[in-house]
Amino acid sequence: MNDTTRGDAEADEPPSSVPAPAAPDITCDLDAPDVDPPADGWLAEQLAAAVRGAGLGGATLAIRVVNDAAMEALHRLHSGVSGTTDVLTFDNRDDPRSPIDGDLVLCRDEAVRRAAELGHDARLELLLYAVHGLLHLDGEDDHSPAGHRRMHEREDAILASLGHGPVFFKPEAAR
């Protein structure tokens, strides 16, 4: 049946002139072995939910998960720092006021080590790194004590909204 009449209250409301935010466009490439439980697919889905929850619709993100050797080479090339790191963030925008468009490189090996220390799974640690990179692209900075605390509180709020609870500032009793 093709019935175009509607009897609900929504039918009485005028159409909104404000366009809905575009859905995030997120790709994820694993250039290192997957973790257990698998992050492939899950990571992009979770980050898309984080983008929507943070009100950053329309974001374009390319995630690449690499091993220590690849991360160390990228860290040295782009930051001039030897050694591995958890996440590198690359902002592809010419205008920081335009929708987020960036590349995130996440270190699988660092996530496995850190997750083992903290007692949670590595894919949750990878999600923390992805949210951290997302917040850098949204203008957050963690180089001052106040900025560090604000950024990590925001990370944990986003992760809690996804049903994961705090990861960075996990209560001591849960560690």
- Output the DSSP codes for 119-157: TS-HHHHHHHHHHHHHHHHTT---SSHHHHHHHHHHHHH
CB atoms near residue 49 (< 10 Å): 15
Q: What is the DSSP letter of 10?
A: G
Q: Which residues form the domain of 96?
A: 19-167
Q: Is 136 annotated as a binding residue?
A: yes
Per the structure block, which two tokens stand in for 149?
């605390």
- The answer to whether position 92 is within a domain reads yes
Burial of residue 18, with CB atoms counted within 10 A of its CB: 0-12 exposed, 13-18 middle, 19 or more buried = exposed
pTM of this structure: 0.84
Report the number of distinct structural domains present in the chain: 1
Ligand-binding site membership of 142 (annotated): yes
The model's pLDDT over 148-172, given as tens digits with 9 standing for 90+, comes to 999 999 999 999 999 998 877 665 5
170 token code pair: 């996990």
Question: What tokens does 48 get?
Answer: 């898309």
**Spatial separation of the C-alpha atoms in residues 152 and 134, rounded to whole Å:** 12
Any idea what the CATH number is for the domain that residue 102 is in?
3.40.390.30
| Domain assignment present for 31 | yes
75 annotated as belonging to a binding site for a ligand: no
82-110 tens-digit pLDDT: 999 999 999 999 998 899 999 999 999 99
Would you say residue 8 lies in a domain?
Answer: no
